[in-house]
Structure 1
């Protein structure tokens, strides 16, 4: 397509500068010494800086991986374009992951500087990490429970004529069912992670998700009582995994409830910039020492790991939204799982 002189005039320097500033992806311009000369609004937001804070700083200040930064400089110093995975460091010291491209700015045959553009893939990285840990948890749980099952079966084999042996066989069957359920649950959750790792967060109606999810969980657990009022019409920052993550928390409130009549209360509190979803139960509660363990956030030795696969999944999903989940005591008995979701 041929451009006329009028077209070139209309697309002058001001237009190009405005295009740079309004681009949705993070973009920066550096001079030939790799000193930052300009960063667009998306770049400032991505890195957590205020306008003008980065200008005059070495581009190395935003690098979260020295080897990658040296590779970029090496390519650009030879007049070559660079592209690949990039790790950036925000103003707060947090590592964010992305894919980037950097190219020399050539004017009249002379290199005048560098332009770099990045695509945020932090969420994808979080889901990939979650999938890896999920596999580790699953493998560990399977080993432990298979060992327990083997011990019961072995005992039953040596005492086949006793009531004790029959009880051990029954326990072995229960363990087998638990393993089957756990593997199926882990497989389903991993499939969800793999299908959604590149999904973008977007505004989602929390009340609609809650109503639909509660219908499914109430059908799954007809013995439990679910109490809730009309939920406020509120939008939160999430994606298609929100329903599965909320379902995992609701199921946990019943599956680990030792009350004769399990009761689960669901409520939503809307605040200025976020929403708090509360799921309260009348079960045994969660000791404070185990509140990180149940989400798979820590392990207290090489043989004992957090076994809350569903809760680990939920924690990973809420974290990818910029939210959080934690546990408090319920009164007079039980636990309250609270979920903070940001409002767009």
Structure 2
């Protein structure tokens, strides 16, 4: 026979408060008028505010989408819980994406406030967006290449006995091979993104990763020269896509290099909060005004062309780490220098 009497001690209100404050899932509590009264530590870290900056304000102050916030309020006013995706605006002005739910805090038949719980899906959202853009860039390259190949093949058919026709056919074959490589590269990058949607950043030894990447690229490009000193033993916050990012930057320094002997200099600058990788080459440089274009941050048009999908991929992944990638010397005609800033682990 079971005794239904509950002799366990009642949890004190302070214990509930501490549990709320220190849970790993971002959450906030408002009063019945939707004024913020509590935000746990994870929530403050998520949006980048101090509690004093949020206390008493409406959650609309940190909402990056008025329509979604309005939908949440409508559900709550009807006595319904809400769940779905949303966008928040951080203290730094960045938009972060989340998945969450909001419901009433009710006891004694009266609503005393509301609680919102959410998870950060910014990395997954960026990777999904990146995956879509990778497909768009690939389609753009395919269309241009196929149009070019069609012209060469048609020319060969019309002048099959002309030596130029044989050259055109050879160029068509080379183009097809290049197109195949682009397709394979796009597929590999997209699969890499999909594998890493749920990946957590972890401490990664940048010096060891750089040595492995340089060896791999050196084996692939025997015509190039790599110059570097001993790298500092430093760990950065990243995931397994970082090696693909580094290889993309190194590849770019060679693939778009018109020097008879491509030279690539690799340096690492160790700072208090960030670590910066610098990759310099002796190629033609990046034209002024095209620094954003080469990373896929602007639309490609018939007059302006990016350098392919690899740098776009690198930009997307580095941003997901909370880092940056940029061209340090646009407009220079004696080579380009690309910098990748990563947070220290």
Give the TM-score normalised by structure 1. Answer: 0.93
Aligned residues: 342
8 A contact 1:86–1:100 mirrored in 2 = yes
Structure 1 contact 226–266 (Cα < 8 Å) conserved: yes
Q: What CA deviation, in whole Å up to 9, does each residue of 1:127-157 have, x standing for no partner? A: 1111111111100110011000100111111
> How many angstroms apart in 2 are the aligned matches of 1:258 and 1:229?
25
Please list, as runs of the form range in 1=range in 2, the aligned pairs for 1:198-217 lying within 5 A after superposition: 198-217=198-217
Shift of 1:231: 1.3
Shift of 1:4: 5.1
Q: Tell me the CA shift for residue 94 of structure 1.
A: 2.6
Distance 1:305 1:128 in 2: 23
Match of 2:336 in 1: 335
Alignment partner of 1:120 is 2:113 = no
Q: Which moved more, 1:323-332 or 1:135-144?
A: 323-332
Per the TM alignment, residue 305 of structure 1 is displaced from its structure 2 partner at its CA by: 4.4
Q: Residues 79-119 of structure 1: CA distance to partner in whole angstroms, max 9, x if unpaired?
A: 33221111112234432100011121122332211111110
Which residue matches 2:252?
252
| 8 Å CA contact retained: 2:322, 2:343 | yes
In 2, Cα distance between equivalents of 1:134 and 1:127: 10
Give the match for residue 9 of structure 2: 7
Are 2:33 and 1:33 equivalent residues in the alignment?
A: yes
Are the counterparts in 1 of residues 285 and 333 from structure 2 also a CA contact under 8 Å? no
In the alignment, structure 2 segments of 5+ residues that lack a partner are: none
Hey, what's the Cα distance between the residues in 2 that align with 1:33 and 1:41? 23
* CA distance 1:332–1:128, change in 2 (3 Å): closer
| Deviation string, structure 1 residues 277-304 (Cα, Å, up to 9, x no partner) | 0111122222222222111111364674
In 1, the alpha carbon distance for the partners of 2:307 and 2:212 equals 27
Give, in whole Å, the separation in 2 of the partners of 1:40 and 1:86.
19
Instruction: Report if aligned partners of 2:153, 2:172 keep a CA contact under 8 Å in 1.
Output: yes
| Mapping for residues 303-322 of structure 1, pairs under 5 Å | 304-322=304-322
Alignment gaps of 5+ in structure 1: none
SS of the equivalent of 1:7 reads coil
CA pair 210-78 structure 1, distance change in 2 beyond 3 A: same
Deviation at 1:261, TM superposition (A): 1.7
Query: 1 CA distance for matches of 2:317 and 2:339?
Result: 14
Q: Within 5 Å, give how 1:1-344 maps onto structure 2.
A: 5-8=7-10, 11-299=11-299, 301=301, 304-329=304-329, 333-344=334-345
User: Matches of 2:236 and 2:39 in 1, distance apart?
Assistant: 29
Alpha-carbon distance in 2 for matches of 1:275, 1:116: 36
Counterpart contact for 1:227–1:266, Cα < 8 Å? yes
Distance 1:171 1:285 in 2: 26
Q: CA deviation at 1:187?
A: 0.6
Query: For residues 216-238 of structure 1, what are the alpha-carbon distances to aligned partners after superposition, in whole Å with 9 as ceiling and x for unaligned?
Result: 21222222222222211111121
* In structure 2, distance between residues paired with 1:142 and 1:303: 17
What is the CA deviation profile of residues 171-225 of structure 1, one whole-angstrom value per residue up to 9, with x for unaligned ones? 1111111111111100100000111122122222211211222222122222222
Considering only aligned residues, what root-mean-square deviation do their CA atoms show, in Å? 2.1
